[in-house]
Structure 1
Amino acid sequence: MRQVTVVEHLLLSQKERPMASGRFTRLLTELILSAKIIGREVSKAGLLDVLGATGEVNVQGEIVQKLDDFSNQVIIRRMERAGVLCAMVSEENADFIEIPRQFPVGDYILIFDPLDGSANIDANVSIGTIFSIYRRTSYTQQAVTLDEILQKGAMQVAAGYIIYGSSTMMVYTAGNGVHGFTLDPSVGEFLLSHPNIQIPEQGRIYSVNEGYWSYWDEPTRRIVNHFKSDENALGRPYSLRYIGSLVSDFHRNLIYGGIFMYPADHRDPRKPKGKLRLMCEANPMAMIVEQAGGLAVDGTRRILDIEPEELHQRVPLFVGSKKDVEVVLQYYREAGDDRP
C-alpha cells in the first residue's frame, strides 16, 4: 500500500476545509526541511565539531550548546524567507524576531524551541524541536506588536514536535487529531506511520525529577506519592520513567499513556513558577495532548486558557493521560491553590 507523505496529508486535510490556503502548507514544508537539516547534523554530531557548549548563556540563563545554536539559526534563516510569517519567537532569543522587510511577510507567527533537551546532547539522548503556530490577530501592513504575539494557547492554529531518536519522527496537530510521520532516509520523506494518535485514558507511567522533592509544596508531594503507592487506580505503583528531555518524555507517554510533571519549586527564586516555558513548550504540548484525548494543566488551570504576560513566561506543567491529570486537579483542589 502506498504511504502518505506529510505534505500529501496536509493537502488532503486542507481540501476538507475550503477556507484553507496553501500558505500553511508552505509554512510546514519549510519547517520540515529545517527539521531534516537539523536531524542530519544530530545524526552525525559525534563526527563533527557540533557537540559541547558554545561558551554563551541564553536568555533563560542556560548554557548554549553548539547544536542548539545551529538549530536556532537553521530555523530562523529558513523561515524568515518562507513568505508566510510576520514574526517568530525562539526560546534562545530574548525578544521576538520580526521578518526583515526585504522578504515577503505573511500573517502567521511561529514560536519554537529549536532543540529541546539540549543538556543531554553530549550523552546521545533523544532530543527534539517543538513548534507552535498562531495567526496574527490584525490584518495590517504595520509591524507586528508584542500584544499580537502574546496569545493564549487555545488560539494556536497548529502545534507539533520533531523528535530525533532511533528514528526521526514528526508529530503534529492542526486541530483535527494528532498524526505522526516517520522520516524514511531512503526517500528523504516523512511518511504517515501513526495516524490519529490517541493517548490511553489511564496511564501506567509517571515522569518527574524526584531529586527536587525537598523543593516542592505538600500537595505536589502527595500527588507523586499517589502514583508511587498501591492506592491508586492501578492498585500498584506506576513505573517511573524520566529522561529529562520534555519532547522525549512526552512522546513516550503519548504513545504508552502516563503523566509528565514539572511542578513549581522554590530552589531558584527567579523561577517560582517552575522551569518550562508557557509559549514554546507547555502550549504546544497541551494542544497536542488535548487533541489526542488527554489533559494539560498547571495544577489548577487548563494550560491553553492561560493568558501570557511575557514571551518567556514559565508555568508548572502536568500533562498526559486524562485520568492521571485529573488526579492532579483533585489534589490541588482539595489543598487550595497556596502555591507561589
Structure 2
Amino acid sequence: MSILNLAHFLAEQGRKFGLANSLLSLVDDLAHTCRQVAREVSHGALRGNMGDAGSENIQGEQQKTLDLVSNDIFLRMATQNPHVAGVASEEMEHAQVFAGKNAEYLLVFDPLDGSSNVNLNLSVGSIFSILSAPPGEVEEQSFLQAGARQIAAGYALYGTSTMLVLTLGHGVHGFTLDPESGEFHLTHPDLRIAPSTQEFAINMSNQRFWQPPVQRYIDECLAGSSGPRGKDFNMRWVATLVAEVHRLLIRGGIFLYPLDNRTVGRGGRLRLLYEANPMGWLVEQAGGLTSTGHRNILEIEPTSLHQRIAVILGAREEVERLQQYHSFTDPTA
C-alpha cells in the first residue's frame, strides 16, 4: 500500500484549498528543520549536548545546550527562507526581523519543548506557528496576533519515532519520519478528539495552589464512579506539552495547566504565542476546545512576545464543564 508523503500531501492541500505555494514551501522547510532537530536530539549525549548551557532565557529558565542548538537550526532556516520576514522564539528576548526581505510570513516557535526531559530520554518536541506579515515594515508588534489569525501551526514529537503533526486550517494530520528515506509519510490523517473522555492530565503537585473551579473538577474526577461524574478517570502527566497534546490527538482526554495562586500575577504558566496558540489551534481543528477557563485562548490579543496564560484544552465536553465551573468565579481573581 502506498502512503502519501508530505510533499504530495502539501501539493494536494494546495490544489484543494487554494493555498499559496510560498506557504507550502515554508511548511516543507519546517519539516526539514524538525528532521535536523531530531538528529541533534538523538545524538545529544554522543556530542556532549545534554547538559545546561550556562545561561537563562527571557523567562528566567535555565537553558539546555540543545535549546540553543535547536533555536539556531530554526533561525538558520528562517534566515534563508525567502518567505519569512521575521521570527520570534521562546529562547530569544526580542523578535528578529530580516531587513530588506519583502516576505509574506512571520514564524513563531518553541525550538525544543520539554528540554528538561532530555537527560531522562523522554519525549521532547518543537512547536511552530505561521502568521501573516503585515504590509510594509515589520516590527515586534507585528507578531502580537490572536491565535485565530494563524495560517498554519504544528509540532514535531521526538519520541519512539519522529512525528510531524500540522494544520493548514483544514483539519489535523500526522506524519511519521522514515529514518531510512528521510521522508515524512502521512500515517495519521484527519486526527479527531472525542468530545468526552475519562482521562485527564495535570501536575498534581500543584494541587494546593489551584483555584476552586479546578479543585472541584479534579476532585470529581478522582471520586470516580462513586462520585458525581459516575465514571472512573485515569490521570497522565508527561511534563512536555507536545507529548501531552499528542496524547489528546491520539487517544483523547483533557490537559490542564490552570491559573493558580502562584501564577495569578503573571497570567499563567505557558506561553501564549509559542505554546498555547499553536497547540490550541491544533486541538480546535481536531474538534476539541481550548480555554483559559474564562475565555477561548485563540481570541486573546497578545500584549507581549512572552506573555503567559492559563491553558485548558482537549475534549469539548470537559472543557465546557470547566468553563461552567469558572463562570462562578471572578476572571481577574
Query: Runs of 5+ in structure 2 lacking a partner?
Result: none
Identity in percent: 38
TM-score (norm 1): 0.94
Deviations 1:56-88 (A, max 9, x none): 000010000011110000000111110001111
SS at match of 1:169: strand
Corresponding position of 1:241: 236
Partner of 2:111: 114
Aligned to 1:96: 95
Does the alignment pair 1:297 with 2:291? yes
| Partner residue, 1:189 | 183
Cα contact 2:198–2:231 (8 A) shared by 1: no
1:227 and 2:221 correspond: yes
Q: Deviations over 1:291-338 (max 9, x none)?
A: 1000000001001101111111111000101111111111111x2225
Shift of 1:232: 5.1
CA distance in 1 between partners of 2:263 and 2:332 (Å): 14
Structure 1: state its 5+ residue gaps. none
Contact 1:296-1:318 within 8 A present in 2 as well = yes
Tell me the SS of whatever aligns to 2:41: helix
Aligned length: 331
Report the Cα distance in structure 2 between the residues aligned to 1:21 and 1:249, rounded to whole angstroms.
31
Shift of 1:339: 4.6
Deviation per residue, 1:139-176 (Å, 9 max, x gap): 22xx3023321110000001110000000000000110
- In 1: Cα distance, 2:220 partner to 2:130 partner: 36
Residue 76 of structure 1 aligns with which residue?
A: 75
- 1:206 counterpart = 2:200: yes
Matched-pair contact (CA < 8 Å) for 1:71–1:115: yes
* Partners of 1:147 and 1:57 in 2: CA distance: 24
Q: Indicate the residue corresponding to 1:139 in structure 2.
A: 135
Structure 2 counterpart of 1:124, one-letter code: N
Q: Which residue of 2 aligns with 1:52?
A: 51
TM-score for both structures, normalised by structure 2: 0.96
Q: Which residue of 2 aligns with 1:272?
A: 266
Q: What secondary structure is seen at the aligned counterpart in 2 of 1:144? A: coil
Contact kept, 8 Å, 2:127 with 2:278, in 1: the verdict is: yes
Which consecutive aligned stretches of 4+ in structure 1 deviate over 3 angstroms post-superposition? Answer: none
Distance 1:75 1:132 in 2: 12
Structure 2: how far apart are the matches of 1:326 and 1:267? 24
Contact 2:97 2:139 survives alignment (8 Å): no
In structure 2, the CA distance between the partners of 1:171 and 1:232, relative to structure 1 (3 Å rule), is: farther
- SS of residue matched to 2:266: coil
2:9 aligns with: 9
Is the CA contact 2:90–2:111 (under 8 Å) kept in the aligned structure 1?
yes
